[in-house]
Amino acid sequence: MIILASGSPRRRELLQTAGVNFKVCAAQGDEVLDPSLHPADAAVEIARQKAAEVAEKYPRDCVIGADTIVVVDDLILGKPKDKNDAANMLALLSGREHTVYTGVCIINDGDENCFAEATQVEFYPLTPEEITAYVESGEPMDKAGAYGIQGIGCVLVKGIKGDFFNVMGFPVARVLRAIR
């Protein structure tokens, strides 16, 4: 059985779209980010924490943990704390390129396979009015970097280099290949 150690609706949707039979058991522990790690390694470590927590309950199953972070100027942008934080993140990303890292940890019958996927994303320059309108939509509030490429946030994105689904928070093709 495949167990997704995440409550993310986007990760669930991507696995369902790929035709995977799985169960959700979201990790409940606090995410502990080690600021001394490279951002890709930090995302992998949080994914490992999630997968390890859930693997304790399902030791014979294939458990997938994932964590997505956005990085610009060596600054890690997680989920915004409030609307002001979201607006500040979007202003920082405006007209610039940033990197989205998704760390993945697959624990299958005790064996760990962990990796990070990186995707470059470039934003159009954003006006203060565009930022305010997007923040007021509510969409940025539960997303790393304060935007969702699969939603209204698609209008902010000028282009990407890499896996589109990684920007949504789950490099589904690479994960499924790793499970095989």
DSSP-based three-state secondary structure for 54: helix
CA distances from 65 to 47, 55, 69, 128, 159 (A): 5, 10, 14, 36, 27
CA distances from 148 to 1, 5, 86, 96, 105 (A): 29, 21, 12, 16, 23
Distance CA 2, CA 174 (A): 15
Does residue 8 contact residue 67 with C-beta atoms inside 8 Å?
A: no
> Which one is catalytic: 61, 67, 73, 163?
67
Alpha-helical runs (H) found in 24-121: 39-57, 83-93
109 catalytic? Reply is no
Calculate ∠ Cα 1-101-22, nearest 5°. 15
> What is the C-alpha radius of gyration for the chain, rounded to an integer number of angstroms?
16
Q: Please give the positions annotated as active site.
A: 67
